[in-house]
Amino acid sequence: MFDVIIIGAGVIGCATAYELSQFDLNVLLLDKENDVSLGASRANTAIVHGGYDPDPATLMGKYNVKGAKRCIELVDTLDIEFKKSGSLIVALDENDLKTLDKYYNRGLINGVEGMEMLDGEETRRREPNLSKEVIGALWIPESGIINPWEFTIAMAEVAVREGVKLELNQKVVDIEKNSDHYLVKTETDQFQTKYVINAAGVYSDQIHNMVAEPAFKIKPTRGQYFLLDRSAGETVKAVIFPCPTELTKGILVSPTVHENILVGPDAEGISDPEDTSTTREVLDLVAKEARRSVPSLDFRHNIRNYSGIRANSDYNDFFIKISAPNFLDLAAIKSPGLTCAPIIAEEGIKLLAEEGLELNKKDSWDGTRKIVRFKEIPKEERADFIEKNPDYGRIICRCEHITEGEIVAAIRRGLPIHSLDAIKRRAGSGLGRCQGGFCGPRVQEIIARETGISPLDILLNKTGSYILVGQTKNADKEA
């Protein structure tokens, strides 16, 4: 019998697992995929938002500034790639200036610190590549860019190290309420638990409906992106948001923690929450809209297009409630959900405590994580470091200069590894301009060696994404 089962290992589920791991509890984290962070937490805009946008009457408005502060603490505690780049919301016409006023006033109510209104000239002085049409901007210093999947994975890694049990490839199909516990049924297993936390993202309405009357409906919303190589040069320093127009919420242009440039997203309601394909029409639209604020964007530097599915809903806020006895919804988490995740987890745990969950701190709990990033080791220390750790002397990913040592460490940090993309998300190999063309086969070799999985069974990403179909005719003889 578990004390708590968390359904969904995205940023919300993993933040909750991380917070719960400090208590003397038997916690199980379930996900339907073969890794954590495979839904909206993987493919999003990677921003720790400042908090000028959400309605102050909502939880989104109440949590945002606190969430951003907590995120900025956690990136140190958990050793996550982050840059406090700040954000600029730019105005292209008089209407936009009114929007900036509205944001400024909302920001004041939401507690956003350090906001500044800039004129066009000052805006372009700070960001020379912005359009000549920009006539003003709102500067939000307390915001930044984060590696969102690393954030999620780091919290899961610490949670698992500190005793949380993780079960992957477990799709929840039913939840049965019994007298003193829930029975959570997956396609292959069933688990008993006293408390259930629903952190199922785009599926959170379906999980909710397994135990309670329908209260909200998820409306999966797809957003498509370009990622431009750093060979494009420094395009912008801060996250550049345009003001929303009637047609779009605004395509942003942002640096990333890997010094690339991210452009997107649109917002398109779709029926299939797994359809993360990209389309020519939308990509063309995204490129065109982005050039309104940054005309010099050169999309020939594109190294990846992707799309993410956000858990928008017909409920105009996060749905954070005890919806049935001992059943907590952390549902309908949309933007700024990534920023608010640590607060959502804390507030959710408070609600469970009110339901009777006993929170006794463990005698010893280590909530920190530290990893080696070869690129960050100063040149004068590298010789000594490699002498002690020879694995860090072999570069596997040429584009991003990721070493074998970093890949092996990622495999050994405790979460199961099934795919090349799992390594990409943990060590950063394959994120660069060749997109794994060179390092893919070598990463495959290292995973096979470290885990004992046959290279034939190592996947690109999710279950079913097999890379190889068999051996060649003479493979046996050659070996």
- If one asks whether residue 474 binds another protein (CB under 8 A), the answer comes out as yes
The backbone region for 430, taken as left when phi is positive above 0, alpha when psi lies in -120 to 50, beta otherwise, is left
Residue ranges of alpha helices (H) inside 85-176 are: 94-110, 120-126, 148-161
- If one asks whether residue 169 binds another protein (CB under 8 A), the answer comes out as no
- If one asks whether residue 469 binds another protein (CB under 8 A), the answer comes out as yes
Report CA dihedral (276, 282, 287, 291) to the nearest 10 degrees.
-120
Touching another protein, residues 403-432 (CB under 8 A): 404
Exactly one of 49, 208, 301, 418 is catalytic; which is it? 49
Judge whether 89 and 238 are in contact, CB under 8 Å. no
Nearer to another protein, 299 or 365 (CB): 299
Nearer to another protein, 1 or 383 (CB): 383
**Alpha-carbon distance 218 to 222, whole Å?**
12
Site for another protein (CB under 8 A): which residue of 109, 128, 267, 466? 466
Site for another protein (CB under 8 A): which residue of 391, 450, 451, 453? 391
Touching another protein, residues 124-163 (CB under 8 A): none
Nearer to another protein, 93 or 274 (CB): 274
Site for another protein (CB under 8 A): which residue of 192, 209, 279, 451? 279
- If one asks whether residue 473 binds another protein (CB under 8 A), the answer comes out as yes
- If one asks whether residue 455 binds another protein (CB under 8 A), the answer comes out as yes
Site string (235-274) toward another protein, x via CB under 8 A: ---------------------------------------x
Touching another protein, residues 342-381 (CB under 8 A): 379-380
Site string (302-331) toward another protein, x via CB under 8 A: xxxxx-------------------------
- Radius of gyration for the alpha carbons in the chain, expressed in angstroms and rounded: 23
Shortest Å, Cβ 428 to another protein = 16
Strands, E, within 187-260: which ranges? Answer: 190-198, 221-228, 239-242, 252-255
Judge whether 297 and 127 are in contact, CB under 8 Å. no
- If one asks whether residue 179 binds another protein (CB under 8 A), the answer comes out as no
Shortest Å, Cβ 204 to another protein = 21
Q: Catalytic annotation on 401?
A: no
The Cβ-side half-sphere exposure at 96, using a 13 Å CA radius, reads 23
Shortest Å, Cβ 224 to another protein = 9
* Coil, strand or helix at 144: strand
Burial classification of residue 340, based on how many CB atoms lie within 10 Å of its CB (0-12 exposed, 13-18 middle, 19 or more buried)? buried
Q: Give the sheet arrangement for strand 144-146, strand by strand.
A: 47-48, 144-146, 82-83
- If one asks whether residue 276 binds another protein (CB under 8 A), the answer comes out as yes
Site for another protein (CB under 8 A): which residue of 169, 312, 435, 451? 435
The closest alpha carbon to 52, from 123, 98, 110, 95, belongs to: 110
Shortest Å, Cβ 11 to another protein = 21
Measured CA distances, 212 to 53, 118, 321 (Å): 31, 49, 11
Judge whether 438 and 398 are in contact, CB under 8 Å. yes
- If one asks whether residue 464 binds another protein (CB under 8 A), the answer comes out as yes
Does an H or E element contain 4, and which?
strand 2-7
* Coil, strand or helix at 179: coil
Nearer to another protein, 92 or 402 (CB): 402
Shortest Å, Cβ 232 to another protein = 13
Nearer to another protein, 286 or 341 (CB): 286
Q: What is the DSSP string of 362-409?
A: -S----------GGGS-HHHHHHHHHH-GGGGSEEETTTTEEHHHHHH
- If one asks whether residue 448 binds another protein (CB under 8 A), the answer comes out as no
Part of the chain binding another protein (CB under 8 A), chosen from 51-59, 260-268, 296-304, 335-343:
296-304
Site string (76-95) toward another protein, x via CB under 8 A: --------------------
The Cβ-side half-sphere exposure at 141, using a 13 Å CA radius, reads 7
Q: Site residues (CB under 8 A) for another protein?
A: 231, 274, 276-280, 283, 299-300, 302-306, 379-380, 382-383, 385-387, 390-391, 393-395, 398-399, 401, 404, 433-435, 437-438, 440-441, 455-456, 459-475, 478-479
Q: Which of the residues are catalytic?
A: 49
